Structure 1
Amino acid sequence: MRKILYLFLLIFLSNLGYTQEIDKLPADKLATEMANTIMVKWPDSLTHQPGATAKWSYDLGVFFEGIANIYAVSHQKHYLAYMQHMMDLFVQPDGSLSRYSLTDYNIDYVKNGRTLLFLYKATKEDKYLKAASLLREQLKTHPRTQEGGFWHKKVYPNQMWLDGIYMGQPFYAEWSASFDEVKNFDDIANQFLIIEKHVRDPKTGLLYHGWDESRQQKWANKFTGNSPNFWGRAMGWYGMALVDVLDYFPKNHAKRRQLEDILVRYAAAIEKVQNPQNSLWYQVLDQADRKGNYPEASASCMFVYTLAKGVRKGYLKRKFEESAVKGFSGIKQHFLEFDKNGMLHLKGTVQVSGLGGTPYRSGTFEYYMSEPVIEDDPKGMGAFILAADQMKYF
C-alpha cells in the first residue's frame, strides 16, 4: 500500500505547475493526465468517506478500461498496480467477490468483468478468472424478456435500458471469444437487435432511454412501452457497446452485418444532433435549444469514442471522422480544465439519470434537467480517457 501511495505522490508532484494550453496537448497526453487525476483523487475506492465501504460499481470498469489502454502502450507498472489494488478490495484470494450478489440480477454488476479478465491476462492470477466466472454465471440465469433480452435489474422487471447493453454485452463477448463459447454470439447480437427494434424512433433514428415490455411503468408509453426522451448518455452507452462487441464478434457470423448496419444508422442519427455551435451533444439529444438543456460531457465523450473507433476499425465511412474531430475539440474547449496544481479535471457530467425507482424518475425533460451536474464524475472521466485514446489516431 505504501508503494502505491508513493507512486501516486510521484504522479501528483510531476504535475505541479503543469499548465500548458489544453488545445496544444496531444490526445494521448490528455488521456494520461485524466488517468493520473483519477488515481490521485481515489487512491483506495470511489468514496471520500473515511471508513466507508467500497461499492461494487460499474464506474470502476469504465475508467479501468481507459487505464488499461494506457498501460497496454506505456507498460508503466503503477497503472496495473492501481487496478489490482482497487479490484482486490472486492476479489478475495479464493476468487469470491465481496459486496456482490449474483441473485440481485443487476446487469450493472457485470461491467467490471472486463477488468477482471484484463487482470487475469496481465497477472495470470486465477482469482481474477474465478471472479469473472461468477459474472458469467449471472448471465446464465439473469431474467429476460419474452424475446430473450436481459432485464436491466431484477428490481426493474420486464425492462431493457440502453445502459444495460454496455454493462453486459462487451464482457459477454470477450468471455465468449476468450473461452470458445461461440454459440453465445447469437444471444449477444440479439440483445442489440431486440432493444433497437423497440426503442428506435423511425423519424430521427435516435433511441429512447428504456423500454418496458409490460407497458406497466408510469414512464412507459402505453402503446410502445418506451420512455419519453432520448437521453444522451444512454445512447452513448449503446454506441460504445456496439464498437466494443465488434472487436470480438466472429467475422463470418450471420448477424455481424446486422450489428454493423445498426452502427451506421446510429452514427447518422447522432451526427444530426451534434450541436453546430459547439460540436457537442446535449443531455436530451433532440432538444438542444430548449431552455435548461445543456451540453453533457459523458455523452459527448462516448459519441466521440464510438465514431472515432468506428471509423478507425472500418465499420463507419471516413465522413464520420469530421464529427469525431469536431466533438473532441468541443470537449477540450468546454469541459477540460487544469487546476493550479496541474491536475486535469472534467466538468459537465450529469451524475445519474434513470427511470422509475425511489425517488421516482419520470423520464420527462424536466426530470433529466433536475439531476445534478458535477465535476470529475468517474464514468465521465473514464469515457474521456477512452475517447482520447481513440483520438490519438486522428
Structure 2
Amino acid sequence: MKNILYILLISIFIFSCASPKKESAVLWSQKMVESHGLRDFYCNRHFQGKLDTTGWDYVSGLVALSVLKAWEQYPEKMEYYQSVKQFADNCINEDGTSIISKNGKSALRPSNIDDLPAGRVFFTLYKHEISKGNKKDAARYKNALDLIRNTLKFNHSRIGDSLPGAGGFFHKAIYPNQMWLDGLYMGSPVYAEWESTFGKDDKLEYLSSWDDIVLQFKTIHQKTYNKDVQLNYHAWSALPTDSNSFWSNLQEPYLGCSKEFWARGMGWYFAALVDVLEYMPNDHKDYDYMKEITNQVAAGLKRWQDNETGLWYQLLQYDSSVHADGVGDIINGVAHNVGDASNYLESSASSIFTYAFFKGVRLGVLNQSEYLPVAKKAYQGLLDNFIVAKDDKIDIIQSCASAGLGPAKDLSRTGTINYYLAGKDVGLAENEGKSIGTFILASLEYEKLN
C-alpha cells in the first residue's frame, strides 16, 4: 500500500512539474490588451508607443475597436474605455465634423476605403456618453459617424455603369475599378452599423442602403470565388487591361482576378460577413444569400485548416513545402520579389478566422456542431504557436506586415507566390496591430463561451 501511495505521489509531482500548455481558461483578451493593446504595437511597421496618442489608421482603429470590445465585455476595466476615448478625441475636431490626421490634414483621403473602419469605435463611445448625459461628446461622435457613412455612400468612387461590377466601391482612388477582399471589411461593417443605429427612420433610404451593402458582397463573391478551391482570390479588377491592374488574370473564368488566395484578405472578408450579418435585418430579401456565402467561405476555410495546428497558412491552398522560387518575378527585365522564403502559418489571418468562426456560430449563422470544433482547435493553435510569454507580458509573433497589389508605379506587388512570401513589404512582424486586434477579438468570442 505504501509503495502504491509513493508511486502516486511521485506521479503527481512529475505531472505538476511538466511544462504546461497555455491554458485557454486564462483571460487572454485582457492579457493582450494590457500587453500591447494600450501600448507598444506596430501599424504597418510603424511603431506606436501608446494607443491614446496614435493617429487615425485602419490598424490603430482595429486595435482601438478590440480594446473597446474588451471594455464592453469587462466594464470594470475603465482604463480601456478611457484610452479609446482619448484616441478618438485626438482624431476629430471640436464638433466631430472633421477627422484629422497627425499632420493636421483630413484623415479621410478621397475614395480611400482604408480610412473608414477606425470610425467603428464611435458607436460605442456615442452610446456610452449618451447614457452618462454627456450630450456634447455624443453629438461629436454622431457627427463623425455621419461623415464616415456619407463619405462612403455618397462620395466614394464606384465602378461605372459600363463595366462589370457596376456600383462596387473602389478599394482606393489609386486602384481605379478594383475591389479587394480587404475593402469589404474596411467599408461595409461601419456602413451597416450606421444603418442599424441611425438609419431606420427613413425606410426607403434604409432599404436602399442595405441593398447597396449587399451589392458589394454580391459583386466581390461572384467575381472572386473559386468553387473548386472554395476560396476567394485576393482582388478583382473590372478593367484588367488598366496599367494599375497589371497583376490581373486576363483569361476567363476568373478574368480580372489576382493570382493567389491570401489568408488575411480572406480573413477581412470572413469577418466582414459576420460583422454585417450582426446588424442586417433578417427579413431583407438577401439575408439568406449573405448567410449562404458566409457558409461557403467557412466551408473553404475549414477545408484548408492545418490539421496539426488548427491554423492557416499565409497562402491558403499550400503548406510549408511551397516557397518563393529564388528567381523572382521578371518585369521589363527587372527581377522583383527575389527570395526562397517558405509558406508559413500566419497569426493575423488565423486570429481573424478564429474570431469569425466563433462569432458566426454565436449569431446562428454557422452550424455549431460543424464549426465550433474548428474555432476551438484554431484558438488553441493560436495560444500554442503564436503567443509568447515575455516577463509580465505576452507577445504575438509571425504576422505578415502588409500586402497589396500594384499600382502601376509599384510593379513589385505582383500578387504571385514570390510576392506574398518574399515581397519587400510582406515580411514577418511581431506585435503587429493587425494580429493584436484580431487576437483580442478572437479571445473575447472564446471567453463568451465560458
What TM-score comes out, normalization by structure 2 length?
0.79
Q: SS of the residue aligned with 2:123?
A: helix
Name the residue aligned to 1:203: 228
Displacement of 1:64:
2.1
Range 61-70 or range 263-272, more displaced? 61-70
2:214 matches 1:215: no
**Is it true that 1:70 corresponds to 2:94 in the alignment?**
no
Cα distance change on mapping 1:48 and 1:388 into 2, 3 Å: closer
> Are the counterparts in 2 of residues 39 and 82 from structure 1 also a CA contact under 8 Å?
no
| Alignment pair present for 1:259 and 2:290 | yes
The reply to whether residue 320 of structure 1 matches residue 371 of structure 2 is: yes
What is the identity, as a one-letter code, of the residue corresponding to 2:304? Answer: V
What one-letter code is carried by the residue in structure 2 that aligns with 1:97?
Answer: I
What residue is the counterpart of 1:369 in the other structure? 421
Q: What is the aligned partner in structure 2 of residue 131 from structure 1?
A: 144
CA drift of 1:188 comes to 0.6
Deviation at 1:101, TM superposition (A): 4.6
How far apart are the structure 2 equivalents of 1:188 and 1:39? 30
Contact preservation (8 Å) 1:44, 1:86:
no
Pick one of 271, 291, 299 that aligns with 2:302. Answer: 271
Question: How far does residue 221 in structure 1 lie from its aligned partner after superposition?
Answer: 0.5
Aligned mate of 2:260, from 229, 234, 237? 229
Match of 1:391 in 2: 446
Could you report, residue by residue, the CA deviation over 1:22-78 in whole angstroms, capped at 9, with x for unpaired residues? 622426x1001101112453499974489xx95421012212222122111221211
Q: Counterpart in 1 of 2:112?
A: 106
Partner of 1:379: 434
1:348 to 398, 402, 406: 398
Contact 1:233-1:299 at 8 Å conserved across structures: yes
How many residues are paired up? 371
Q: 5+ residue gaps in structure 2?
A: 1-18, 131-136, 161-165, 324-341
SS of the residue corresponding to residue 404 of structure 2 reads coil
Q: Which runs of 4+ in 1 moved over 6 A?
A: 43-46
| Partner Cα separation in structure 2 for residue 90 and residue 174 of structure 1 | 20
Which SS does the other structure have where 1:26 is aligned?
coil
Is residue 92 of structure 2 the alignment partner of residue 91 of structure 1? yes
Instruction: Tell me, in whole angstroms, the C-alpha distance in 2 between the residues paired with 1:44 and 1:268.
Output: 32
Query: What letter is aligned with 1:110?
Result: L
Alpha-carbon separation, structure 1, partners of 2:114 and 2:249: 24
Task: Report how far residue 269 of structure 1 moved.
Answer: 0.4
Asked if structure 1 preserves the Cα contact closer than 8 Å seen for 2:111 and 2:172, the reply is: yes
CA pair 231-43 structure 1, distance change in 2 beyond 3 A: closer
Residues 328-373 of structure 1 show CA distances to partners (whole Å, capped at 9, x for unaligned) of: 1111100001102x11111011110110035430000010002211
CA distance in 1, matches of 2:275, 2:56: 22
Q: What is aligned with 1:334?
A: 385
Q: Structure 1 pair 49/178, CA: closer, same or farther in 2 (3 Å)? A: closer
The alpha-carbon deviation at position 182 of structure 1 amounts to 2.0
Look up the equivalent residue of 1:377 and give its one-letter code: E
Provide the secondary structure at the position in 2 that maps to 1:112. helix
- Quick check: 2:179–2:237 contact (8 Å CA) kept in 1? yes
Tell me which residue corresponds to 1:145: 159
Q: Take 2:173 and 2:347, find their aligned partners in 1: how far apart are those partners? A: 30
Higher RCO, 1 or 2 (CA under 8 Å, sep at least 6)?
Answer: 1
Which residue of the other structure, out of 110, 116, 121, is the alignment partner of 2:122?
Answer: 116
- Report deviation, 1:94: 2.1
User: Alpha carbons of 1:22 and 1:173: their partners in 2 closer, same or farther (altered >3 Å)?
Assistant: farther
Change (3 A) 1:301 1:44: closer
Q: Partners of 1:268 and 1:213 in 2: how far apart? A: 27
Q: 1:43 to 1:151 in 2, by over 3 A?
A: closer
Alpha-carbon separation, structure 2, partners of 1:177 and 1:153: 26
The answer to whether the 8 A contact 1:229-1:363 is kept is yes
Structure with the largest fraction of strand:
2
49 and 277 in structure 1: CA distance in 2 versus 1, 3 angstrom threshold: closer
Aligned to 2:333: none
2:3 equivalent in structure 1 = none
Percentage identity across aligned positions?
A: 33
Q: Does 1:159 align with 2:178?
A: yes
Larger Rg: 2
Distance 1:110 1:143 in 2: 14
Q: Secondary structure at the match of 2:179?
A: strand
Residue identity opposite 1:246 in structure 2: L
- Cα distance in 1 for partners of 2:21, 2:113 equals 36
Within 5 Å, give how 1:6-85 maps onto structure 2.
23-26=22-25, 29-42=27-40, 47-48=47-48, 54-75=54-75, 76-85=77-86
Q: Distance in 2 between matches of 1:152 and 1:373?
A: 24
- Select between 105-114 and 95-104 the one with higher mean Cα deviation: 95-104
Query: What SS does the aligned partner of 2:232 have?
Result: coil
Residues 112-170 of structure 1 show CA distances to partners (whole Å, capped at 9, x for unaligned) of: 12112221112231111112222112111211113211000011100000000000000
Kept in 1, the 8 Å contact 2:387–2:396? The answer is yes
* Distance in structure 2 (CA, Å) of the matches to 1:21 and 1:377: 26
User: CA offsets, 1:202-261, max 9 Å, x none?
Assistant: 211100000010012110011310000000000000000000101110010000000000
Report SS of the residue matched to 2:60: helix
Partner secondary structure for residue 392 of structure 1: helix
Kept in 2: contact 1:47–1:54 (CA 8 A): no
